Structure formats: C-alpha cells, structure tokens
A and B are shown apart, each in its own frame.
Chain A
Amino acid sequence: MAETLIRLRDDSASTAPVVAFADLSDTANALAVRLMPGDDARALLPLLGQLELVEVAFPGFNDGRGYSAASILRESGYTGELRAVGDVLVDQISHYHRVGFDAFAPDQPITRAAIDTAIATWPEVYQRTVDGRPAIWALRHG
C-alpha cells in the first residue's frame, strides 16, 4: 500500500512538535527540527544528543543540498530519525538511503515495496558513505 510516511526504523516515530530551523533559538530543548535547503546542518551539531527527528525538506527533488546536510549529520554521529520530506521520488531513494536517510515523507505516496526495490538498485557501491556498505575498493583489497 502506498503511504505518506515510510520509516525504515524499529523505534516509534517522534511525536514532538517539529520546529523550523529558523525558530530554534526560541525553542529550548527542541526534539524535532526541520531543515530547509539553505539551512546549515552544522548548526545542529550541539543539539545532536537531544534530537530524535530531523526532517530535511526537498521542495524540489533536483535541489541536492539536503544530501550534504544528511551526510554531515550522520558523519557527526546523529543516530535519530532522518526524514526526507517533500518532492521525494522513487528514483532518488537509493541515493537518499546512501547518505543516511531512514524515513521518507513523500508528497506523492510511494509503496514500501518500491522503496525496498529502489534501495537495492546498486549491487555494489564505489564510495564509502555513512550507510556502512563496503566500497568496491574495500571488497578488492579486504
């Protein structure tokens, strides 16, 4: 069945109100935040211990800044939910997954089966990223 929120996590979804990045300074102890493409993900680093949900907005699927935002958060040790929100399409899911997204809230519903198929697009990968898959160079050289 096509759904509007697909989570690849076992924990339950955060119920905390989602605070816009721009309003963070007014909200002490925010648990959930939304980044727009121009927001600096590194500004969230001091909050990583408390955040349980970061939404990364894709107003248009072809604005790729959110991929770097996701990578930076995961590289910095963020383990909470990382949700791609907006113009999220099945043909970009494999890349989203590789940079650390583990939840999707697409404007147009996508089936869980389509998500799983998309994630399996690449039998192997050339780069080491935050998804933990071994890069092809690691397979070659052990």
Chain B
Amino acid sequence: MYQYDTHDQAMVDARVAEFSDQVARRLSGALAEDQFRPLRLKNGLYLQLHAYMLRVAVPYGTLNARQMRMLGDIADKYDRGYGHFTTRQNIQYNWIKLEDAPAILADLASVGMHAIQTSGNCIRNTTADHFAGAAADEVADPRPYAELLRQWSTFHPEFDYLPRKFKVAIIGSDVDRAAMKLHDIGIQVVTNAAGEEGLRIHVGGGMGRTPMIAPVIRDWLSPLQMVSYLEACLRVYNRYGRRDNKYKARIKILVHEIGAEEYRRQVEQEFAHILTLGLEPPPAELARIKAQFADPAFDRAAPVAIDLSDPDFALWVDQNVHAHKVQGYGIVTISLKPTGGIPGDASADQIRLMADLARDFSFDELRVTHAQNIVLPHVKRTDLHAIWQRLDEAGLATPNLDLIGDIIACPGLDYCSLANARSIPLAQKISARFADVERQRDLGELKLKISGCINACGHHHAGHIGILGVDRKGVENYQLLFGGSEGADTSLGSIIGPGFSEDGIVDAIERATQVYVAQRTDGERFLDTYRRIGTAPFKDAIYG
C-alpha cells in the first residue's frame, strides 16, 4: 500500500501546526465561532449533541497495522475506549475535547494519518472498493487513482469553499462495492479491447433528501487526464452550483437542472482549456504510485483445501470469507455487527487485535468498508482457523456478512445534532429479533440500512430494506422503504406506506420477510422477489 514520503509528511505536519494555531485562537476568543466552524469542519471536528466528534480520514478505506493500532490507542487516550467506523470508510470518536484535538492530530500525523477534509464544503476523502487489489472479479486496482485524487484534492485552493460537500468514489470491478453511482463523482476503472485502462466518469449522484443515480458524463477518459478532467468538473460546479439554498447545492441538483448533456458540454469546454495549463501529474507519478500498490509476496503454492470440520468455523468461512484473486488466499470480512450490538463500533482492544491480525496474517493491511465492517484483504486459507479463533474470543466472529443482521446505521439521535430519530437502538432491536444465524442465512443477502434523518448517512435509499427516522409531532416515527440497491444494479428504494413506531417497524420487517419466504423462487434474493412481485403483497401483509 501507499507509503508517505517526506513531501506527504511535510503536508500533514503543516496541517497540525495550522490547526493548532486555529484552536488556540478560538480558545483565546481571537477567532469567532462562525469563522472557526468551517475551519474545524475541514479537520473533521463537529460540535454534536454532547461533545465534539472527530472524524479521522482513512483514505480509500486502506490502512496498515500501525495506523490501526494508533486508532485504538486514540480511543483509549482521548475518548471512552471505543471508536465508530462509518459509511464513509472513516472512523469517528464521539467524546472529544476541543483542546485535545491538536494532540490527536499530532498522534495521527506520527503514523501518516489526518482528519483533513473529512467534513466541510470541500472535496472529501475519496472512497473505494474495499476489496481493491484482492477481489477475484477485479478488472483493475482503483487505489492508485484514489491516491492521485487524494493528493490533488488535499488543500486544493480553488475548491475549498464549494457550494456544498463533494464526494468521489472509485471502483475497478463490475461488482460495485462502493455505491459508486450514489456519489457526486463516481469513477469506474475499465479496460478496452486492447487491454488499456480507462476511466468511466459518472457525475451527479447522491443520497440525502433528493437521491439521484449519477449519469455517465464521460464514457472513456485516459487515466493520464484524470486530474485535468476532475478539475473541469469541479470548476463548473464551483461557478454554477446553487448557493441560494443549501438543500439544492449539491452537484446532483446542478446536473439535474441543466441536464447531463449541457453539464457535459460545459465540462468539455473547460477541460479543453485546462489541458493547455499543464496541471496533470506526469505518467511517472502514476507509475510511482502504482508500484506501491503492487501485489505483496503471495505464496502461489498455498493450499486451497482446509479443515472445515468445526461447523461454527465452516459457517463463518462460508459467510464472511470472499474469493481472492490468488488461489489459496481469502478475503476476510470482520463483522462489526454482533447480535444486539451497535453497528460499526469497536473497542480499543478490538481495534488493536484487528491490527495484530493484519500484521501477522494479511501483509500488514486492513480496509474499512462502507458497510461499517473491517476487512483483512490477503489471508492464507490455512491461517483462517487461527484468525477465526482469535476473533471469536474477542466477539468479532459474527457470521452475518450481507445478511439482515449486517445493518448499516448512522449514529442517529444518540449522538448527532442533525438527527430526528434514534438509529442505534432500532438496529439493536432488529438485530436481536433476527438473532438466529440459520434464519438469517435462510433469508439470504438482505441489506438493511437505517438513517435517523433525511440526510441519509445510513444509506436508507440504497437498502433492500431501508428505514428513515423522522420526527412526527415530537414522536420518533420510522418510514419503511423497499427496493434500493447500492450495487451494480443501483436503484432507489420507495416508501411503502405510513410510518411506524420503533416496535411497529420491527414487526413490519418480520412480516415482509415472511412474504419473501412464501413468494421467492429458487435463488431469488429479497430484492429480486420484491422487484418481481412489486409492493402490493408486502403492503397487504404489513398493513392488511
């Protein structure tokens, strides 16, 4: 994976110095809160319901064992002994003191980490396929491009006060594991008949209160023009994105209002101008970065067959280990969704354990997934049993990946100042209701996503089952959506009817699963059955 050189390190060190000065001026009163607010947000520091929350960047969700260990140590030293992994492949700490923030950033910088642009109206941390460089179905590794984008977007002077936040996601496989089309810009690395890599650029997707699937704006772009093209995409947005209404300020609204064709025309015009300026890093820079993402020293002779006689172990392997591009290896997903637990939370000890396992068994590499789990990308199948035992002792071996218990949930009203309803207790109730793993496996792939407000941090629009918490005359109320997907078959869910109380929605979900079981044909997922038979049978069962 990518290693900082002295240039990268100089930049994060400068950021620590800059932000330390800004915090000192804020604490002394020299800087007013409304002037400080966008500055602290660009360092991931939110003022939430009970305390400051710090969001730390995990660029494209990739980190090494030393960095992961530091995340655990920070949880102990500055928070309450745990951290929360998010749908943006980042980690958040919920109980931070403002005066500790500079010391935390210094600790992070010591392992090449930061909180740069994890909030604010700027280009956010680029997200990517969490199986990049490991998946058997991969066409090309998207991480070198993500790293090039990290550098380009870091402290970009023209795009630090955009109309609204800006999120880029990148994948290199036809299987979309990054909800790519639901981002401001979604990039897919593709290859042509000659085997050359190119980029397909989608612009104008998003969730939030106006969910949209991003149209293709450029079908094929040379990777050696990516920075110039994105510069053009961003400049058109910065100049013409709406600033009169924050709810209409995302680029999806601009693309929707002027149309994809007109947006494309403006971008191409700007692109032609920008190509004359020489802003693109040279091919040698992309080559330098690609070399750092070269395969680790895989043992190509590693055996595929392993002893699966322990049924609990076999269950976990079947559910949580994916096919690796190298025979004899597997991709392990560590579920942070124990029965009745808080989705995405991990204790400091658990974080350090995962760091140790990555160091000892996965070429020193981990990934954070947008589904709030942790991945060990390169594990020898013969090591799986040892890893599973250690995970199991730490409560980290729940075999529920992509099942109904693998719930995505935003922090909700327990933490977030924007929320209208609680998400976490609802996730815990659903998880407890469907605690039986055999029952979960019988229901098959079923992605359930919960947001505590219309901003959709819990991706409810993209859930096979989505839940949106709203405030109805001072009472928490939950709307139920079916039919969303974040995969290659991206679709937006629809609200099926009147909302429910917290207990009511758990019952409604259970009835929906009964309809699915009664109606499914061989091999159909819940989503497939819903798409085939439509809303009516589900409404009859739930409201009838």
Contacts and interface: CB of A to CB of B under 8 A. Distances in A.
Given A68-B239, A128-B279, A89 B157 contact: no
B477 to A, nearest CB: 34
B161 A126 contact: no
* Number of chain B interface residues as a range: 35 or more
A71 B158 contact: yes
B11, B157, B158, B284 interface centre (most CB from chain A within 10 Å): B157
Interface in B134-167: 151-152, 154-163
Given A61-B161, A99-B158, A129-B158, A135 B281 contact: yes
Contacts of B155: 95, 122, 125-126
A78 interface: no
Given A62-B121, A128-B279, A141-B282, A67 B161 contact: yes
B284 A141 contact: yes
A95 B245 CA distance: 25
Interface string B1-27: 000010110110010001000100000
A140 B160 contact: no
B279 A65 contact: no
B38 interface: yes
Interface string A81-107: 000000001011011101100000000
Contacts of A65: 238-239, 243
Given A64-B160, A64-B238, A121-B18, A140 B285 contact: yes
B22 A91 contact: yes
A128 B121 contact: no
Contacts of A99: 157-158
Nearest to A87: B35
Interface in B492-531: none
B288 interface: yes
Interface residues of A, number: 33
B235 A68 contact: yes
Contacts of A140: 5, 7, 284-285, 288
B35, B162, B239, B243 interface centre (most CB from chain A within 10 Å): B239
B106 interface: no
B39 A122 contact: no
A71 B8 CA distance: 25
A95 B157 contact: yes
Nearest to A125: B155
Contact of B11 (A64, A89, A124): A124
B278 interface: yes
Given A62-B38, A67-B158, A71-B158, A123 B14 contact: yes
Given A140-B285, A140-B288, A127 B11 contact: no
A136 interface: yes
Contact of B14 (A92, A121, A137): A121
B358 to A, nearest CB: 28
B157 A139 contact: no
A44 to B, nearest CB: 14
A75 B273 contact: yes
A70 B10 CA distance: 27
A63 interface: yes
Nearest to A94: B157
A75 B277 contact: yes
Given A68-B235, A91-B39, A141-B284, A127 B161 contact: no
Contacts of A91: 22, 31, 35, 39
A126 B235 contact: no
Contacts of A62: 38, 121, 161
A108 B8 CA distance: 34
B251 to A, nearest CB: 14
A64 B159 CA distance: 7
A124 B10 CA distance: 8
Contacts of B278: 128
Contacts of B152: 126-127
A64, A98, A140 interface centre (most CB from chain B within 10 Å): A64
B164 to A, nearest CB: 11
A37, A95, A123, A136 interface centre (most CB from chain B within 10 Å): A136
A71 B38 CA distance: 22
Interface in B277-298: 277-279, 281-282, 284-285, 288
Contacts of A128: 277-279
A94 B39 CA distance: 13
Contact of A68 (B38, B238, B285): B238
Contact of A141 (B151, B239, B285): B285
Contacts of A141: 282, 284-285, 288
Contact of A63 (B159, B161, B235): B161
A136 B239 contact: no
Contacts of B5: 140
A126 B239 contact: no
A122 B10 CA distance: 9
B158, B162, B235 interface centre (most CB from chain A within 10 Å): B158
A2 B123 CA distance: 33
Given A75-B273, A128-B278, A137 B285 contact: yes
B11 A126 contact: yes
Contacts of A89: 35
Contacts of B235: 68, 71
A49 to B, nearest CB: 19
Contacts of B157: 67, 94-96, 98-99, 127, 129
A137 B39 contact: no
A126 B231 CA distance: 13
Contact of A126 (B22, B121, B154): B154
Contacts of B158: 64, 67-68, 71, 95, 99, 129
A123 B38 CA distance: 22
Given A64-B159, A129-B157, A129-B158, 7 more contacts: A75-B277, A91-B31, A123-B11, A127-B152, A135-B281, A140-B5, A141-B288
Q: Which 3 A-B pairs have the closest CB atoms?
A: A64-B161, A98-B157, A95-B157
16 contacts: A64-B121, A67-B157, A67-B158, A71-B235, A89-B35, A91-B22, A92-B161, A95-B157, A125-B155, A126-B152, A127-B152, A129-B158, A137-B282, A140-B284, A141-B284, A141-B285
